[in-house]
């Protein structure tokens, strides 16, 4: 969950490293550091806190080194501090390392290294790796020392190492992403494509168990198991503009405001409206296998898990296949009966989520068909699944996911139509849904146009300490997502419930002024949910409703109403989620919270 960067080339390394770290700040912001060469000595500068603190420290620092590494940290082992910040050294301050991941056997390794005379300065598992490489560097080249050291390691890592003795960078990955960037006589290595976009679009993703050696002449990739790996680079289609704020105060607001285009991008080139059919290029080779599946297991974490819960309703309704949705972190440890007629579908924005990746690998060990819905091209889940679908919505920078969630929903609907058309779904039913999906971008724009109104509602409630979100059927997962968004970015305690469950416990919390957000479009369970709101009002709670029109029923039981356009009942979640995203955003903004970088969280959770 940290960001790593390395550079070797003809330009000064420091400005490149700092600019790259800025692009990865959403991955971690507990501390940051850089390592460079000066007068044949290793110079390390690192500070706890956000990157700007380090940049101030380096304001008057002059350095001409054309090789260096950098790191931005989200702490796992060792509290955030100047000392525990990366990079980490060996005993002689000749070798340095930046690391993303967790070394699970670091305690055992550390004890062994101490017996051999190594002196440790920090609490981190990453420093253990630096000393382990040092131990094997005495009679070997740097890449050989790295290879031997990694053979002793249990856990996950994405690393970059360099030494004063050799003008090269050595990078490696296992369970944590590493990508190379190539540009003429400049070579980059990072944990995130976003870090490379200011400099190059030509990239190469390291596979599991690979080591890259970059020097001033080029690069080479070898395998931990032996032998060289030869692959071509690929061109990233994200633009630098896509990772800039475009005048918005926060990436989160920018990404919410992009959601109409997100729907368009997620559908583009995939819908054959007149036939009621869907074509995904990534599924062409498995279309016959899809006809044979009789069960779908969806594995995901966080917001992606809630997209999976909506998929459960949608696929069971349109396809008539049983669907289970499991937290990937639980699925990997369950004794789940799997067979060749099962499909395991992983949903992950980054395509690097450690628990979701582990779930996919478990499925593959059982010879089960695996799919991925991911946004990052070339990510590990995209490469390791049997087939998959890209979101193609550009980078999502804010830690709290918004536009990726909407895209995941769109792709879920398209996938359900594809599977349904193989089974019971009629052409006319499919056309009706697809036609309405095509209309959603304009309807989304009518919701985002209400941002100032939603901000005024936020003004009434931003000082509350607790919220409850409720919904029924497809909008129960939206209630869960609404509560998660508020928790993530405003630090207000919030819970999501099925509306019918209020009277089975949560109603005890309602007192005068207690805010309840109700996702209540005028669907088949509209009047049922009105009854639940009556229960809240009878106890003097405050009700914020998201619905289609302010009729007499809703006026009676609400304090504030956000109006969304009508659509097919099955598509409501794409519209109902947008007001709850905006409400969370404006509440967090009024509370002065760091919206794009909430405390204790990171965008891509690449450790267990």
Q: Which two tokens stand for residue 590?
A: 């009024």
Q: What phi, psi does 118 have (nearest 5°)?
A: -75, 140
Domain 3-236 falls under CATH 3.60.20.10? yes
CB 34 within 8 A of CB 65: no
Q: What is the DSSP string of 485-540?
A: HHHHHH--EEEEEEGGGGGGTGGGG--TT-EEEEE--SSTTHHHHHHHHHHHHHTT
Fold match between domain 243-444 and domain 451-590: yes
∠ CA 225-142-70, rounded to 5°: 105
CATH architecture of 243-444: 3-Layer(aba) Sandwich (3.40)
pLDDT at residue 27, as a whole number: 64
Question: Residue 315 and residue 432: Cα distance in Å, rounded?
Answer: 16
Going by C-alpha positions, the residue among 520, 510, 529, 517 that lies closest to residue 469 is 517
Q: What does DSSP assign to residue 282?
A: G
- Please name the residue that has the structure tokens 């949560």: 506
pLDDT at residue 125, as a whole number: 85
pLDDT at residue 229, as a whole number: 86
pTM for this predicted structure? 0.73
- Please name the residue that has the structure tokens 């395991």: 344
Strands 155-163 and 166-174 come out as antiparallel
Domain boundaries, the chain: 3-236, 243-444, 451-590
- Residue 126, Cβ neighbours under 10 Å: how many? 27
Question: Residue 424 and residue 70: Cα distance in Å, rounded?
Answer: 54
Between the alpha carbon of residue 461 and those of residues 451, 467, 577, the distances in Å are: 16, 9, 19
Residues noted as catalytic: 2, 603
pLDDT at residue 26, as a whole number: 64
Task: Compute and round to an integer the Cα radius of gyration of the chain.
Answer: 25
Give me the residues of the chain with pLDDT under 70, please: 1, 26-29, 74-79, 238-243, 602-608
**Taking the domain 451-590, which CATH number applies?**
3.40.50.10490
Question: Residue 203 and residue 231: Cα distance in Å, rounded?
Answer: 11
């Amino acid at each position: 969950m940290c960001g790593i960067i390395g550079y070797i080339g003809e330009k000064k390394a420091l400005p490149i490293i700092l600019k790259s770290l800025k692009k990865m700040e959403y991955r971690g912001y507990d501390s940051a550091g850089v390592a460079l060469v000066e007068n044949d000595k290793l110079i390390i500068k690192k500070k706890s806190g956000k990157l700007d603190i380090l940049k101030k420290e380096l304001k008057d620092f002059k350095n001409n080194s054309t090789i260096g590494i950098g790191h931005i940290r989200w702490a796992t082992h060792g509290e955030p501090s100047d000392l525990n910040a990366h990079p980490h050294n060996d005993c002689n301050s000749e070798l340095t390392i930046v690391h993303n991941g967790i070394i699970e056997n670091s305690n055992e390794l550390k004890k062994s290294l101490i017996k051999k005379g190594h002196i440790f300065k920090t609490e981190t598992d990453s420093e253990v790796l630096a000393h382990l490489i040092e131990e094997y560097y005495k009679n070997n080249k740097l890449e050989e020392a790295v290879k031997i050291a990694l053979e002793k390691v249990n856990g996950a890592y994405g690393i970059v190492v360099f030494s004063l003795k050799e003008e090269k960078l050595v990078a490696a990955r296992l369970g944590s992403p590493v990508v190379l960037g190539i540009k003429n006589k400049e070579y980059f290595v990072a944990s995130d494509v976003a870090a490379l976009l200011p400099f190059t679009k030509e990239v190469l993703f390291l596979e599991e168990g690979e080591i890259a050696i970059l020097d001033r002449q080029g690069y080479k990739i070898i395998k931990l198991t032996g032998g060289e790996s030869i692959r071509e680079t690929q061109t990233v289609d994200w633009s630098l503009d896509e990772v800039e704020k475009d005048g918005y105060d926060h990436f989160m607001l920018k990404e919410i405001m992009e959601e109409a285009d997100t729907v368009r991008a997620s559908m583009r080139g995939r819908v054959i409206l007149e036939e009621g059919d869907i074509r995904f290029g990534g599924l062409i080779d498995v279309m016959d296998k899809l006809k044979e599946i009789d069960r779908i297991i969806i594995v995901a974490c966080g917001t992606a898990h809630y997209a999976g819960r909506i998929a459960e309703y949608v696929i069971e309704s349109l396809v008539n296949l049983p669907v289970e949705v499991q937290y990937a972190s639980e699925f990997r440890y369950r004794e789940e009966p799997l067979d060749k007629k099962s499909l395991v579908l992983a949903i992950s924005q980054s395509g690097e989520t450690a628990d979701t990746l582990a779930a996919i690998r478990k499925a593959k060990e059982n010879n089960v068909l695996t799919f991925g819905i991911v946004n990052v091209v070339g990510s590990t889940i995209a490469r390791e699944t049997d087939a998959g679908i890209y979101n193609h919505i550009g980078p999502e920078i804010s830690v709290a996911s918004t536009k990726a969630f909407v895209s995941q929903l769109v792709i879920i609907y398209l996938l359900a139509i594809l599977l349904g058309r193989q089974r019971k779904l009629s052409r006319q039913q499919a056309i009706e849904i697809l036609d309405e999906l095509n209309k959603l971008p304009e309807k989304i724009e009518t919701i985002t146009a209400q941002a100032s109104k939603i901000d005024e509602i936020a003004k009434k409630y931003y000082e509350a300490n607790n919220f409850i979100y409720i919904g029924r059927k497809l909008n129960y997962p939206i209630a869960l997502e609404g509560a998660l968004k508020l928790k993530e970015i405003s630090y207000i305690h919030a819970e999501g419930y099925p509306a019918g469950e209020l009277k089975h416990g949560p109603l005890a919390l309602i007192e005068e002024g207690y805010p309840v957000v109700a996702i209540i479009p005028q669907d088949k369970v509209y009047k049922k949910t009105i009854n639940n709101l009556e229960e809240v009002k009878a106890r003097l709670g405050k009700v914020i409703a998201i619905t289609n029109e302010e009729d007499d029923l809703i006026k009676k039981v609400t304090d504030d109403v956000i109006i969304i356009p009508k659509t097919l009942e099955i598509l409501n979640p794409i519209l109902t989620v947008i007001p709850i995203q905006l409400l969370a955003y404006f509440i967090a903004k009024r509370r002065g919270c760091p919206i794009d970088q909430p405390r204790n969280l990171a965008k891509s959770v690449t450790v267990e």
